[in-house]
Amino acid sequence: MASRDKSAWDEPPDMPVGHFVSGDVYTDPDIYKDESEKIFAKAWRFACHDSELSEAFDYRVFEQDGQSLFAIRGEDGVVRSFLNVCSHRGAKLLDQPAGNAKLITCFYHRWTYDSHGHCAGIPRASGYSGGAVSKETMGLREVRTEVLHGLVFVTLDDSVPGLTPFVGKALDRFAEMLTGQPLEVFHYNRVVLDCNWKAWHETNMDLYHEFMHVVLRKTQVNAMPMKDRKLVVFENGHGGSGGALKAAYDGYKGFAGRGNDVPPLPGMGPTDFRFINLFPSTAIISRGHCRSY
């Protein structure tokens, strides 16, 4: 096909409206603004793993839709989450990605907060006497938090339904893998992708994508017929592998026997591969042989 000039490039496909996706959904700032307000601000989103908060007062800082938050385990064992912002002047409370703090102290004016989000201390509180500022009224902004299969989720909307009805059956095939044996986060890595959020999720759902990688082409594409490689869409927009995809590791030099040296993850075989995208922004990818002791 010949190259196109600007007019031809801008011409929409010769297809009925609704049969193709406009490129505007990846680039239009107004669309993204609507997505931020109507999707990200309301959906349940992954924060951290329960094992990262194994002891009382362990905390983990994370980001959701441009806002810094943190989850912390109280002395009562309950995991709670808060905006990572001091109630006084809006300064950021916690800078480290993780740690342990019985009291959280703001660097700016040394206000302190406990693991329940209560304001525990205001230096020279007498200066506020007679006004509306007091320890009783200046607690942190708590964010709804729930834990499912050891995964900690939060939502910025106090009115949406709970996590379990939101997830539905999307994690059923991962339940045994996530809970059959104790899991521990042994490495944390942050990568910022300069792309629209939908492009990332489409890559995870794209079986065609496998043909573009030599390792996947030799270990997965030929391991089972494409007709058996099913994608399932669940309620609330979640989607992923409908069954356990298979890998043939003997098809790639150096991979022979991979996964036979240690038991596979609970509920999975050593050549199983599963993935799920939890709408809107969480991807879980598991291979049966990926296990450490």
Residues 6+ apart with CB under 8 A from 140: 82, 83, 85, 87, 113, 117, 119
Say what the pLDDT of residue 247 is.
83
State the average pLDDT over residues 202-208.
Answer: 79
State the average pLDDT over residues 206-226.
Answer: 78
Say what the pLDDT of residue 69 is.
98
State the average pLDDT over residues 65-90.
Answer: 96
d(CA 76, CA 91): 27
Q: Indicate the burial class of 41 (C-beta count within 10 angstroms; 0-12, 13-18, 19 or more).
A: middle
Q: Looking up tokens 């500022």, which residue turns up?
A: 133
Closest-CA residue to 154 (of 12, 268, 41)? 41
> Would you put residue 149 in left (φ > 0), alpha (ψ -120 to 50) or beta?
left
Say what the pLDDT of residue 46 is.
96
Confirm if 194 and 200 have CB atoms less than 8 A apart. no
Domains of the chain: 45-161 (2.102.10.10), 197-287 (no CATH)
Amino acid identity, residue 196? N
Say what the pLDDT of residue 132 is.
84
Strand partners, 232: 240
Query: If residue 284 lies in a helix (H) or strand (E), which one and from where to where?
Result: strand 282-287
Strand 282-287 to 272-278 pairing: antiparallel
d(CA 211, CA 184): 32
Say what the pLDDT of residue 1 is.
64
Say what the pLDDT of residue 292 is.
43
Say what the pLDDT of residue 293 is.
35
Q: Collapsing DSSP states into helix, strand and coil, what is residue 36?
A: helix
* pLDDT tier at 249, thresholds 50, 70, 90: confident
Say what the pLDDT of residue 214 is.
84
Q: Does position 165 have pLDDT exceeding 70, yes or no?
A: yes
Say what the pLDDT of residue 110 is.
96
Q: Looking up tokens 């030799």, which residue turns up?
A: 218
Q: Does position 17 have pLDDT exceeding 60, yes or no?
A: yes
Q: Count CB-CB contacts under 10 A for residue 250.
A: 14
Say what the pLDDT of residue 290 is.
67
State the average pLDDT over residues 4-19.
Answer: 90
Q: Does position 82 have pLDDT exceeding 60, yes or no?
A: yes
* pLDDT tier at 71, thresholds 50, 70, 90: very high
State the average pLDDT over residues 20-39.
Answer: 93
Residues 6+ apart with CB under 8 A from 13: 19, 20
The mean pLDDT value of the chain amounts to: 89
Q: Does position 137 have pLDDT exceeding 90, yes or no?
A: yes
